Every structure is written in structure tokens, then in C-alpha cells.
């Protein structure tokens, strides 16, 4: 039984499963080359069908991550919060609401669009609740038979936060928190206040910046903007900080009085901005920990699944693992909306078709791959000089290049699902070089100096580095590095002594594991610096994307499967 899951508006994606096994999953942005692509994911669907070797007529079910008829709540909320502003431009409001309506209402035409574009088919089409898809995306592919589930995002149809319990093939919602009370929207509003762009997914920047600040504004945020309350709940006061107004770069007098003027994009980052980031970050963590206490009391589960865009907050995840009552955790690599396509497909398979569970997501490699011959053909066509080498020669050679200071664009196997490059579409460099972070951020990736870079490490060596066992194949949790280890790998340790590691397993990515092992043989360090293979655009997908990036940038070597290009 083939089932296709779809995410369409923002981080559009498609996922194909076959009898409960994950066949293919990819974000549309990788094909369209538009970050966070919003729109119908034609190319992701094409890819999924091709990977599965099927046609649309072979699909029994297609499931969407959204119930468009719940739109009115969201639209009403947008109008309500917009009318709070004294400086509102009604034309902008009307346009905004009209756009929202158009795009969500367009969902009713999806079955028709699918048949028109891909051909006749008898699939059954399902509209599923957004947060249920988030919850399913984590729990139904987790190693757990039962678990508590917390999903957190900007908003679904009107739910922003959901407590659930996962039991076998079921996800049972326990509680929903609705607009305007949204942790994701609170964080996005702070993102815009700090001069970053919530539409570009710049929330990462706030988290990175927070490590440089002191939470001086914590009390203001906790008292006036976001407060936890006794019922394992939280409240956002949109009179003081409103997401819809922040979108338009408008902030209340009270917020400006307390926090100072909002920063404009491109202005210098001052200590005050770092302190605002630190305060919002700390408060987010505290509110989520507060809710998790309640979720634990309610479920008495030891396993926790997290999903939704806020679950990408790896610093928060680190505190959850350390301080929440739960003992075991699972966060799926596409925790944001792209992952809802996966959740939707599994919801249909288990909850609607009542099939038993038979799959665990142990890695993220579910995207397109290209043979070494396809890669060499692309290199030849581009007129680049390259050598084709067997792994026994190539891997030690690449490890040596990295140890000698090279930054390598590393391209192999199936592309990752989710925003993290996990060793198949990555820039790799030497973590021992303290200057590597600024070199990579500013000279290669052309982005802010404060963005932390993360390590990939052999899973066998994790305890040596962190002083305790840790399993995170998806690079989604920040934890403390042992003090004695920080000087060994300075470019992947953040200013506060933490790192966001990918633990690399020989089972799920043997070739990447071997490359790190070769680096360890030379350097004594079982760690590589790993950041995504992209410069100001989505992570590379094809050999052509990788070659284009190589040509336009200043990194030293490119590996496309078994082909090595060294910049002269």
C-alpha cells in the first residue's frame, strides 16, 4: 500500500511510504532552489514517485497536513491582532488576509490539481489536523511503543501547542493551546525585533546570539509578554508583542520602552540585542519545561516525543533532556512543517488503515542520490579537472586535506530530509582550528560571525567528549562539552562551552563514519566540523548544484561520490 503525505504552504515537502516503510522524503526547496518553498510540491512528488518506481495511479491514499476549513479561526485572529495597531495600513491588512485566504482555500483543489498534473488516479484524499501530523511525525516513527508527545510551532490551523499521548498506532490529543498564545510566534516576533527575518527562518540566529547575552529582560518578557500559568499552560499578551505586527516591523510603545528601539537589518549587534535574545530564549525554555512537568503528571510516561518548528530549538532541547522528568527522547530530523508530510502519511497508514507499526526512523537519508558516474559526467560537462578514486584512497586523502586546513564540499548518497546536513551534503573542516568558524561563516557561507558550527563525531567517542552517553543522529540537541575537551575542538564549541553534535553511526552512514575515522587516525580527534553544503540558498541537491556552489565560492575541494576536485 502506497501512501503519499504532503506539506504545501511553507517548507513544502512530500513523503512516500510503502506498507509502512519510508521510501522517500524531500523538501520542495531543494528542487526549486527557493528557501522554505511555499506552494504545491510538484517536484517533491515527482521525486517520490520516481524513487518508489510508481505512478500516481498506484497511490491508495494522499494525505495533506492541514484542514483548510479551520482557516476562519486563523484569519479572524490575524484581523483581530492587526486591528490592535494604531498605525495600521488597511490595504496591507486586506492584502495579507486575502493572501492567507487564497492559499488555504486553494487546498480544496489539491485532488483536482494532482489528477490534472500527474494523471488519472483513484487515491483517497485526506485533510488532517496540522498538530496531529506533527505529533505523528515524531511518535509513529520513534522507537517507543508509548510516549508523551508535545508539539509546538507558530500555529497550525488554530492550534499552536498540543499535548498528546502516543499508544501503539494511535496518537491521542490531550490538550490544545490555541492562537494567539503561540511560542513559535513569540519567538518569531523577537526574531524580527532583533532585525532578523522570521520569513527566512532566522529564528536560529536568535538562539545562536542568546549565548552571548545575559537575560536582563527576562522579567519584562515574563511579566508582560509570555507567562506560564498554573494549568500547565502559557499566555502571550499580544497587546505588548504581536507577531502579526512584528511581521510588519511594528512594535508597541511598551515593548520599545522596555527593550529599546528594535534593531534594523544590517545595524550593528549590541550587547542589548544579545541580552534580548538571551532573555527570550531562557523564557521559552522555562515555559516549555513548565508545560512538560504538566505533561508528565498527566501521562506518567518516561518517553517524550517533540515536534513542530519550536522543537528545532536545540538549546531548549538540551535543557529538556537535562531537566525534564522524561528519561528518553525522540525528535525527528524534519521536526518542522516539512515533517508533517511524513506524519500525515503515517497517520493514514496506522490510524486510518489500522496497520501495525513496522518502521523506526534511524537516519535522515531519504532524498535523491546520484551515482559516481552521474557525478563524473556532471564534472566533465562543467570542464572541471577531477580524479576518480576508490574509497580506500579517497577517504584518507580527504581526511588529510581537512587536517591540512582545507574546507571540503562533501556530497554522497541520499540527500537528508530536514534542515540539517548530516554528512551527505555537508561542508567539512578541521574542528581543531579555532579560526575555522569565522573563516567558514564569513568567507565561505557569507553569514553572521556568531552562528555556531556543529561537530559530527563517531558515536563510540561521545562519552569522552561530553562525559556522558549521548545519542543524536539528527543534530538537534545542544549539550555541554567537557571542559578538558573544549580546546581540542574549539571551532565547534560555542561561546558558552556547548556543542550541537551529530553522533555518527557505522550502521546508518558507514562511509561518513569511515571518513571521520580516517581523520581521527591523522589528528587523534574523532570529530569533523560539519555545516550544511549551501551558500545563501537551500542545501545542494544535485551534482549540478554542488558544482555551481563550488564555482561561486572559495572553499578548497569538492567530493562528489568518488570524484575529487581540488581548487587550483
Interface positions with Fe ion (CB under 5 A): 153, 337
Output DSSP code: residue 482: P
Question: Do residues 147 and 164 make contact, with C-beta atoms less than 8 angstroms apart?
Answer: no
Phi, psi of 174 (to 5 degrees): -110, -30
- In this structure, the chain runs to a length of 568
> Cβ closer to Fe ion: 337 or 416?
337
DSSP string, 28-55: THHHH--TT--S--HHHHHHHHHHHT--
> Cβ closer to Fe ion: 337 or 459?
337
Distances (CA, A) of 176 to 130, 156, 293: 12, 11, 16
Question: Do residues 417 and 334 make contact, with C-beta atoms less than 8 angstroms apart?
Answer: yes
Task: Supply the minimum distance, in Å, between the C-beta of residue 65 and Fe ion.
Answer: 8
Distances (CA, A) of 242 to 44, 94, 98, 183, 311: 34, 18, 20, 12, 21
> Cβ closer to Fe ion: 178 or 328?
178
Burial track 338-375 (b if 16+ CB lie within 10 A, e otherwise): bbbbbbbbbbbbbbeeebebeeebebbbbbbebeeeeb
Task: Supply the minimum distance, in Å, between the C-beta of residue 289 and Fe ion.
Answer: 21
Task: Supply the minimum distance, in Å, between the C-beta of residue 170 and Fe ion.
Answer: 21
- Residue 209's nearest CA partner among 193, 224, 220 is 193
> Cβ closer to Fe ion: 77 or 376?
77
Task: Supply the minimum distance, in Å, between the C-beta of residue 309 and Fe ion.
Answer: 6
- Residue 18's nearest CA partner among 369, 362, 355 is 355
Helix (H) and strand (E) counts in the chain: 21, 22
- Give residue number: closest CB to Fe ion: 153
> Cβ closer to Fe ion: 37 or 414?
37
End-to-end CA distance of the chain: 51
Task: Supply the minimum distance, in Å, between the C-beta of residue 156 and Fe ion.
Answer: 6
> Cβ closer to Fe ion: 309 or 473?
309
Task: Supply the minimum distance, in Å, between the C-beta of residue 501 and Fe ion.
Answer: 26
Task: Supply the minimum distance, in Å, between the C-beta of residue 546 and Fe ion.
Answer: 30
Residues 45, 50, 52, 55: what is their CA dihedral angle, to the nearest 10 degrees? Answer: 80
> Cβ closer to Fe ion: 68 or 544?
68
- Residue 413's nearest CA partner among 363, 365, 452 is 365
Amino acid at each position: 500500500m502506497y501512501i503519499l503525505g504532503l506539506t504545501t504552504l511553507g517548507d513544502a515537502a512530500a513523503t512516500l511510504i510503502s506498507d509502512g516503510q519510508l521510501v522517500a522524503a524531500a523538501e520542495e526547496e531543494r528542487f526549486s532552489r527557493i528557501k522554505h518553498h511555499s506552494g504545491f510540491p510538484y517536484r517533491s512528488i515527482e521525486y517520490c514517485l520516481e524513487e518508489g518506481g510508481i505512478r500516481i495511479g498506484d497511490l491508495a491514499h494522499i494525505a495533506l497536513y492541514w484542514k483548510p476549513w479551520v482557516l476562519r479561526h486563523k484569519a479572524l485572529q490575524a484581523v483581530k491582532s492587526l486591528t490592535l495597531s494604531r498605525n495600521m495600513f488597511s490595504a496591507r491588512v486586506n492584502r495579507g488576509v486575502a493572501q492567507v485566504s487564497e492559499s488555504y482555500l486553494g487546498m480544496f483543489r489539491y485532488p483536482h490539481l494532482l489528477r490534472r498534473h500527474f494523471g488519472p488516479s483513484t487515491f483517497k484524499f485526506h485533510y488532517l489536523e496540522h498538530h496531529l501530523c506533527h505529533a505523528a511525525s515524531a511518535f509513529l516513527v520513534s522507537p517507543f511503543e508509548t510516549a508523551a508527545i508535545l508539539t509546538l510551532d507558530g500555529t497550525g490551523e488554530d492550534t499552536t501547542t498540543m499535548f498528546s499521548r502516543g499508544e501503539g498506532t494511535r496518537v491521542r490529543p490531550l490538550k490544545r493551546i490555541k492562537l494567539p498564545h503561540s511560542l513559535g510566534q513569540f519567538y518569531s516576533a523577537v526574531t524580527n525585533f532583533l532585525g532578523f527575518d522570521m520569513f527566512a527562518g532566522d529564528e536560529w540566529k536568535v538562539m545562536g546570539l542568546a549565548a552571548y547575552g545575559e537575560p536582563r529582560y527576562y522579567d519584562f518578557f515574563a511579566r508582560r509578554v509570555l507567562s506560564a500559568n498554573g494549568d500547565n499552560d502559557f499566555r502571550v499578551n499580544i497587546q505588548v508583542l504581536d507577531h502579526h505586527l512584528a511581521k510588519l516591523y511594528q512594535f508597541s510603545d511598551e515593548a520599545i520602552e522596555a527593550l529599546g528601539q528594535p534593531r534594523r537589518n544590517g545595524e550593528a549587534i549590541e550587547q542589548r540585542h544579545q541580552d534580548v535574545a538571551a532573555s527570550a530564549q531562557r523564557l521559552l525554555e522555562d515555559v516549555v519545561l513548565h508545560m512538560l512537568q504538566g505533561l508528565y503528571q498527566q501521562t506518567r510516561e518516561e518517553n517524550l516525543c517533540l515536534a513542530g518548528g519550536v522543537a528545532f530549538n536545540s538549546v531548549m532541547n538540551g535543557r529538556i533532556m537535562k531537566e525534564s522528568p522524561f528519561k528518553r527522547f525522540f525528535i525527528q530530523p524534519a521536526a518542522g512543517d516539512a515533517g508533517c508530510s511524513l506524519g500525515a502519511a503515517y497517520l493514514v497508514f496506522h490510524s486510518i488503515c489500522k496497520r501495525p507499526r513496522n518502521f523506526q526512523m534511524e537516519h535522515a537519508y531519504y532524498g535523491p542520490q546520484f551515482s559516481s558516474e552521474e557525478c563524473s559526467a556532471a564534472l566533465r560537462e562543467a570542464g572541471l579537472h577531477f580524479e576518480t578514486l576508490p574509497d580506500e584512497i579517497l577517504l584518507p586523502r580527504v581526511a588529510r586535506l581537512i587536517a591540512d586546513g582545507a574546507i571540503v564540499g562533501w556530497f554522497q548518497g541520499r540527500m537528508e530530509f530536514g534542515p540539517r546536513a548530516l554528512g551527505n551534503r555537508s561542508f567539512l573542516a578541521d574542528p581543531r582550528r579555532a579560526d575555522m568558524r569565522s573563516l567558514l561563516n564569513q568567507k565561505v557561507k557569507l553569514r553572521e560571525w556568531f552562528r555556531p558550527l556543529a561537530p559530527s563525531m563517531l558515536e563510540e567517542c561521545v562519552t569522552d567528549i561530553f562525559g556522558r552517553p549521548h545519542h543524536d543522529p539528527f543534530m538537534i540537541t545542544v549539550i555541554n562539552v567537557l571542559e578538558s575537551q573544549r580546546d581540542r575542538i574549539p571551532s565547534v564549541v560555542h561561546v558558552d562551552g556547548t556543542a550541537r553534535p551529530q553522533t555518527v553511526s557505522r550502521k546508518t552512514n558507514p562511509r561518513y563514519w569511515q571518513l571521520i575515522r580516517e581523520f581521527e587516525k591523522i589528528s587523534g580527534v574523532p570529530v569533523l566540523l560539519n555545516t550544511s553544503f549551501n551558500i545563501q540558498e537551500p542545501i545542494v541537491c544535485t551534482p549540478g548544484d554542488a558544482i555551481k556552489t563550488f564555482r561561486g565560492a572559495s572553499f578548497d575541494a569538492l567530493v562528489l561520490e568518488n570524484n575529487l576536485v581540488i581548487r587550483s
